[in-house]
């Protein structure tokens, strides 16, 4: 009905609404004029009506200017909204044009430089994160997020701290005791820290997430330099690295890789946590398989303690130490304050050896017996339980747990 009255597709002078707005007042004026001319009673009625209704009519008449004012404000609000929509549309169009330019320019750099961590497919996500696509409407401008340089600087600095920390601990242990268990633990920690650091940056920089178990060390090395180079291309204000420091950083990564490759007999592609664990477990299995039966049984016992003690004693860390018989180093926060767990062969007639728990001048032990059907910690379950409770109490008291 409204469409018919307004007739939006017709000339305004031909619309029913315009014709009605002219004809109806005209007819009313003619009718009232004739009534006033020919009827005295009508004139009296009008005088009486006007006298009594003057104020209400005046108030009603205000609706016209008020309605006009409301219409004007409505139209103004519509124009403001339309301008805002137009501005948002222009903003998003500019953003997507810039994104295409971003992909075209930096995609060519990536291909030319033969990057393999950051790829052309990653660029739209990186662009959306550093230019804050999700907050584009609120920002109203296309600009790199203010805190991106802080995150990048922290990432690069933490990378080198982790790499140097690993290098120092690994070489020190290799030159000192060369404990394969400790070296393996250091390497797993290195991969875990680098993976966590890189995945944390993914939330800010838009780079891909990496699987901890299957990512090789070369990928972590490459990611460090690719992230740095991309920030240089984008003119993100990060701490500058000159050619000398860049070469030093590369040599440090290379030195760490060489340590790992040589010690665990791996190449660049194989150097993942999965492969490290696989080779490590295989080596230990072979070593134990060719040892004497009582050595195998004793080592399995101590390996079980290594796995169970930290689960049952909060805050305890257990590090195995390689040898004919496996030994353990138990500690809490201070690695230099530890309990040494070591199997000692004895000449006792009742038992052939004992596992000693030693710290400073204090020690406790649990005897190992050999029977026809195997090796046991004690002659019966009650004695074994008492001994184990004594050892756990010894660990807690001396390590202040």
Tokens representing residue 120 in the block: 């052309």
pLDDT 10s digits, 248-266: 888 999 999 999 998 888 8
pLDDT confidence band for 372 (50 / 70 / 90): low
Range from 124-128, 265-269, 338-342 that averages highest in pLDDT: 124-128
Comparing 187 with 10, which gets the higher pLDDT? Answer: 187
Does the structure show a pLDDT above 80 at 281?
no
User: Residue for token digits 């203010």?
Assistant: 146
Q: What is the pLDDT of residue 197?
A: 93
Beta bridge partners of 354: 344, 367
Instruction: Give the chain's length.
Output: 401
Share of the chain above pLDDT 70, in %: 87
pLDDT confidence band for 67 (50 / 70 / 90): low
Extents of the domains making up the chain: 2-61, 75-139, 148-282, 292-398
Does the structure show a pLDDT above 90 at 246?
no
Taking CB atoms within 8 Å and a gap of at least 24, the contacts of 179-184 are 179/319, 179/320, 179/321, 179/322, 180/263, 180/280, 180/283, 180/322, 181/319, 181/320, 181/321, 181/322, 182/319, 182/321, 183/263, 184/264, 184/276, 184/280
pTM higher than 0.85 for the full model? no
CB of 144 within 8 A of CB of 230?
no
pLDDT confidence band for 296 (50 / 70 / 90): confident
| Range of weakest confidence among 175-179, 198-202, 335-339, 349-353 | 349-353
> What is the rounded distance in angstroms from the CA atom of residue 284 to the CA atom of residue 306?
15
Average per-residue pLDDT for the chain:
81
* Average pLDDT over every residue of 321-342: 81
DSSP state of 332: S
Residues 6+ apart with CB under 8 A from 99: 124, 127, 128
Q: What is the pLDDT of residue 320?
A: 82
Report the sign of the C-alpha dihedral through residues 360, 343, 324, 350, in that order. Answer: positive
Does the structure show a pLDDT above 60 at 8?
no
Residues of 293-307 as b/e, b for ≥16 C-beta within 10 angstroms?
A: ebbebbbebbeebbe
Does the structure show a pLDDT above 80 at 183?
yes
pLDDT 10s digits, 120-160: 999 999 988 888 888 877 777 888 888 888 888 899 999 99
* Average pLDDT over every residue of 227-255: 83
At 357, give phi and psi (nearest 5°): -110, 110
Q: What is the pLDDT of residue 165?
A: 93
Q: What is the DSSP annotation of 32-62?
A: HHHHHHH-HHHHHHHHHHHHHHHHHHHHHHT
| Range of weakest confidence among 13-17, 92-96, 380-384 | 13-17
Q: What is the DSSP annotation of 184-230?
A: HHHHHHHHHHHHHHHHHHHHHH-PPP--TTT--HHHHHHHHHHHHHH
CB of 377 within 8 A of CB of 367?
yes
Does the structure show a pLDDT above 70 at 178?
yes
Does the structure show a pLDDT above 80 at 238?
no
Q: What is the pLDDT of residue 51?
A: 76
CB of 167 within 8 A of CB of 255?
yes
Q: What is the pLDDT of residue 166?
A: 93
Quick one: three-class SS letters along 86-155?
Answer: HHHHHHHHHHHHHHHHHHHHHHHHHHHHCCCCCCHHHHHHHHHHHCCHHHHHHHCCCCCCCCHHHHHHHH
> What is the rounded distance in angstroms from the CA atom of residue 367 to the CA atom of residue 346?
10
Q: What is the pLDDT of residue 161?
A: 93
> What is the rounded distance in angstroms from the CA atom of residue 353 to the CA atom of residue 292?
15
pLDDT 10s digits, 12-61: 566 676 677 777 777 877 877 787 777 878 778 777 777 777 777 777 77
> What is the rounded distance in angstroms from the CA atom of residue 71 to the CA atom of residue 335?
79
Q: What is the pLDDT of residue 398?
A: 81
Q: What is the pLDDT of residue 205?
A: 87
Report the sign of the C-alpha dihedral through residues 273, 279, 281, 287, in that order. Answer: negative
Residues 6+ apart with CB under 8 A from 68: none
> What is the rounded distance in angstroms from the CA atom of residue 169 to the CA atom of residue 263?
14
């Amino acid at each position: 009905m409204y469409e018919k009255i307004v007739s939006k597709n017709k000339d305004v002078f031909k619309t029913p609404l315009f014709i009605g707005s002219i004809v109806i007042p005209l007819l009313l004026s003619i009718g009232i004029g004739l009534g006033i001319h020919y009827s005295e009673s009508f004139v009296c009625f009008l005088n009486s009506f006007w006298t009594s209704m003057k104020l209400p009519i005046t108030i009603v008449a205000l609706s016209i200017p008020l309605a006009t004012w409301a219409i004007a404000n409505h139209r103004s609000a519509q124009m403001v909204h339309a301008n805002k929509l137009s501005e948002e549309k222009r903003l998003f169009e500019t953003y997507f044009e810039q994104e295409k330019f971003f992909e075209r320019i930096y995609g060519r750099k990536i291909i030319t430089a033969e990057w393999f961590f950051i790829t052309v497919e990653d660029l739209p996500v990186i662009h959306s994160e550093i230019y804050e696509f999700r907050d584009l409407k609120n920002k109203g401008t296309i600009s790199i997020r203010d805190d991106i340089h802080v995150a990048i600087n922290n990432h690069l600095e933490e990378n080198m701290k982790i790499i140097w920390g690993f290098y120092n601990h690994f070489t020190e242990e290799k030159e000192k005791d060369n404990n394969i268990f400790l070296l393996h633990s250091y390497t797993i920690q290195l991969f875990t820290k680098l993976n966590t650091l890189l995945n944390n940056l993914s939330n800010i920089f838009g780079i891909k997430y990496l699987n901890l178990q299957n990512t090789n060390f070369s990928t972590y090395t490459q990611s460090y330099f690719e992230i740095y180079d991309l920030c240089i291309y984008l003119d993100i204000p990060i701490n500058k690295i000159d050619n000398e420091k860049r070469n030093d950083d590369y040599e440090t990564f290379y030195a760490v890789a060489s340590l790992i490759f040589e010690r665990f007999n791996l190449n660049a592609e194989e150097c993942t946590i999965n492969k490290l664990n696989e080779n490590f477990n295989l080596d230990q299995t072979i070593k134990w398989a060719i040892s004497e039966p009582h050595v195998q049984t004793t080592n399995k016992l101590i390996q079980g303690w290594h796995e169970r003690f930290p689960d049952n004693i909060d805050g305890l860390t257990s590090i195995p130490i390689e040898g004919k018989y496996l030994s353990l180093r138990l500690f809490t926060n201070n690695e230099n304050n530890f309990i040494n767990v070591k199997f000692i062969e004895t000449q006792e007639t009742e038992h052939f050896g004992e596992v000693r728990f030693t710290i400073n001048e204090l020690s406790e032990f649990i005897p190992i017996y050999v029977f026809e059907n195997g090796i046991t910690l004690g002659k019966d379950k009650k004695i074994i339980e008492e001994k184990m409770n004594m050892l756990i109490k010894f660990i807690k008291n001396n390590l202040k747990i």
